[in-house]
Amino acid sequence: MTGVEKVNLSSLKLVQDELIATIEQSAVHLEQFASERNNAELLQSCIDGIKQISGTLSLLQLKGVDLLAQELVEHITDIPLGEEPNSDRQLDVLTSAFFILPRYLEYCLQTSRSMAMLLIPYINELRQIRKAPLLPESHFYVFDIPKVARTEQQSAAVLGEDLNSVVRRLRHMYQVGLLKVLQGKGTGPALSMMARSMERLDSACVGYPMGELWRVGSAFLEAAAEKKLHLTMGRKRLLSTLDREVKKVQAEGKSALDKAPDPALLKEMLYLVALSRSDAPKVVAVAKAYGVEHLPYNDAELIRELEFLKGPSANTIDSMSAVLKDELRSTKNILERAAQGGTELLNESPELLDTLKKVADILAVVGLVSASNSLRQEIQKIAGWQEGKVQIDPEELLAVADTLLYIESSVSGLGKTSLSDERLAEINATSRHDIIAHSQLAEAEQLVFEEAESGLSLVKRALSSFAESNYDVGHIKNVANTLNSVRGGMTLLNLPRAAALVSACVRFVEQSLLQNEQPAAVQHMLETFADAVISLEYYLDTIKYERDADDSVLKVAEESVEALGYPVR
């Protein structure tokens, strides 16, 4: 079952008015109790109201809502009388649940369906307070894990290198990506790198029960990267759990591989595979093996439904964004006229500063603090021009225009996303990057990055053709030249560590890969070399947007070429 169910509208409409009235009355009692913490009568009235709500929702058989109501009962009966350290947090979570209950019932009536998974974040808030186990995202996804038979033989991935060394290196690769995901930086490339780590673990562990965990994990991560799944706290915890499973293998060796993977962990990842609706070959193969079908909704749709419940509504945000952008456009027009006709034209718009100050205040309220601070700095310049104390400098005017473009871009993003700190930070970073990219230097660097990325893509395609042709060296004759071009780009960009790494890759291609090695040895070398190329590709994608980014990710690639016998010099 997908977790989406038809709603019996007639039954819901029969009890809706009374139910909403009870919810509102209980919310009032809760608010009053928050001010009178020793009033046992108010607390009991709230408890009685919640129990009545829970009973009514149980009769409606709306999955998720009844569970939320049960959690409310558990939660409120734990609230003590008097001032207690945790009471404020308990009451805040209760208030949030009281807000979401009527909104969710409204949602069910409007859409004629129930999506129980939308309530999991609110259920988990209540469970977390009372230290109960959190519900997984797949809680309402009814799916039995089948036994899957694998026909592949164990890979040559461990030839020439013991299992512990392979696992240690691949876990390092996974952790580098995981760190970036937890930091919210370059999540797409990071997920791809983590998927590669899982894929290599799967290749090394075919034939062992635990190998299925890496196989499903690889599919999940590839789908997450391809479809850009939103990385909630629950999903980040899932990624961390996978790392702990790899750690067990690193600590216990082959004995850990003989254990069956946790069915709940497999189910969670397969649910996300179904949610992604990915058509990538590896993802499709895993979905087919486990009998997983696409869900009737995708991740973006799920997020949109969640946002509908939260408020303020999307219409409110869009209206606010439209007003702010109108004010900014008006300001740009005034400044443009002043630049052409002289400072005195600013005096014809005495309301300009007040308008910009209001815009700065609104930006701060909605969380765009960086944009607000930037605008306040420009307000000081404009004030000087308006008062006639400072002549308009064309360079200063250009700087103000750039800031207004940045702010306008930030405001445009408000209507497309929730106002969480993480997403607001992403809006700011992206907008700044778009503005900075207009400089000639940034454009030139961008071209070099694109050429390097294109070169690495050519290398990967050549290696793939080389493997598929039973190691016909004709497919890789130009790989060394292409890598030398990439090395030149790294030198131009002043990335010496990356340039040295590419040099080691060139030596490997010329001195080993082009030689007639045994097929099994070549297969192992190709897998390890691909690890290095993918790690380098990930590094380039990261450094392209953040020149001061940590280059420790290159350690993974350096370890790979060193394992091939070509340490970086």
| CA–CA dist 76, 431 (Å, integer) | 44
The DSSP call for residue 85 is: T
| CA–CA dist 114, 111 (Å, integer) | 8
Res 92 pLDDT > 50? yes
Residue (of 153, 326, 143, 174) closest to 246 by Cα position? 174
Res 55 pLDDT > 80? yes
Which pLDDT score, from 0 to 100, does residue 331 have?
78
Which pLDDT score, from 0 to 100, does residue 57 have?
79
Residue (of 417, 411, 429) closest to 230 by Cα position? 417
Res 487 pLDDT > 90? yes
Which pLDDT score, from 0 to 100, does residue 435 have?
37
Which pLDDT score, from 0 to 100, does residue 470 have?
87
Q: Are residues 355 and 379 in contact, defined by beta-carbon separation less than 8 angstroms? A: no
pLDDT tens per residue across span 2-29: 567 776 666 777 777 888 888 888 888 8
| CA–CA dist 480, 81 (Å, integer) | 74
Q: How many CB atoms within 10 Å of residue 502?
A: 28
The DSSP call for residue 473 is: G
Res 184 pLDDT > 70? yes
Higher model confidence: residue 124 or residue 417?
124
**Average pLDDT over every residue of 135-145:** 89
Grouping H, G, I as helix, E, B as strand and the rest as coil, residue 4 is strand
Which pLDDT score, from 0 to 100, does residue 547 have?
67
Higher model confidence: residue 302 or residue 2?
302
Q: Length of the chain, please?
A: 569
* Residue whose structure tokens are 């979401």: 100
The DSSP call for residue 511 is: I
pLDDT tens per residue across span 494-517: 899 999 999 999 999 998 888 866
Which pLDDT score, from 0 to 100, does residue 542 have?
78
| CA–CA dist 503, 498 (Å, integer) | 9
pLDDT tens per residue across span 209-261: 999 999 999 999 999 999 999 999 899 999 999 999 999 999 998 889 989 99
Q: Where in the chain is the domain with CATH 1.20.120.160?
A: 4-129
Which pLDDT score, from 0 to 100, does residue 421 have?
43
* Residue whose structure tokens are 């706290």: 233
Q: Are residues 127 and 93 in contact, defined by beta-carbon separation less than 8 angstroms? A: no
Res 313 pLDDT > 70? no
Query: Residue 113: which H helix or E strand, with range?
Result: strand 113-115
Res 532 pLDDT > 80? yes
| CA–CA dist 424, 236 (Å, integer) | 19
Q: Residue 37 — very low, low, confident or very high, per pLDDT cuts 50/70/90?
A: confident
Which CATH fold topology does 4-129 show?
Four Helix Bundle (Hemerythrin (Met), subunit A) (1.20.120)
Grouping H, G, I as helix, E, B as strand and the rest as coil, residue 114 is strand
With a CB cutoff of 8 Å and minimum separation 6, the contacts of 334 are: 345, 346, 349, 352
Q: DSSP labels for 125-185?
A: HHHHHTTPPPPPTTTT---PPPP----PPPPGGGTTS-HHHHHHHHHHHHHHHHHHHHHTS
Res 550 pLDDT > 90? no
Res 315 pLDDT > 50? no
CA dist list (Å): 261 to 148, 165, 175, 211, 400: 12, 22, 20, 8, 57
Res 307 pLDDT > 80? no
Q: Decide yes or no: CATH 1.10.10 for domain 439-569.
A: no
CA dist list (Å): 117 to 93, 103, 121, 123, 302: 18, 15, 8, 10, 9
Which pLDDT score, from 0 to 100, does residue 160 have?
45
Grouping H, G, I as helix, E, B as strand and the rest as coil, residue 6 is strand
Res 72 pLDDT > 70? yes
Q: How many CB atoms within 10 Å of residue 180?
A: 23
Residue 114 has φ and ψ, to the nearest 5°, of -120, 130
Res 167 pLDDT > 50? yes
Which pLDDT score, from 0 to 100, does residue 38 have?
85
| CA–CA dist 48, 322 (Å, integer) | 45
Question: Can you give the pTM of this predicted structure?
Answer: 0.69
| Identity at 242, one-letter amino acid code | L
Which CATH fold topology does 311-438 show?
Four Helix Bundle (Hemerythrin (Met), subunit A) (1.20.120)
Which pLDDT score, from 0 to 100, does residue 51 have?
87
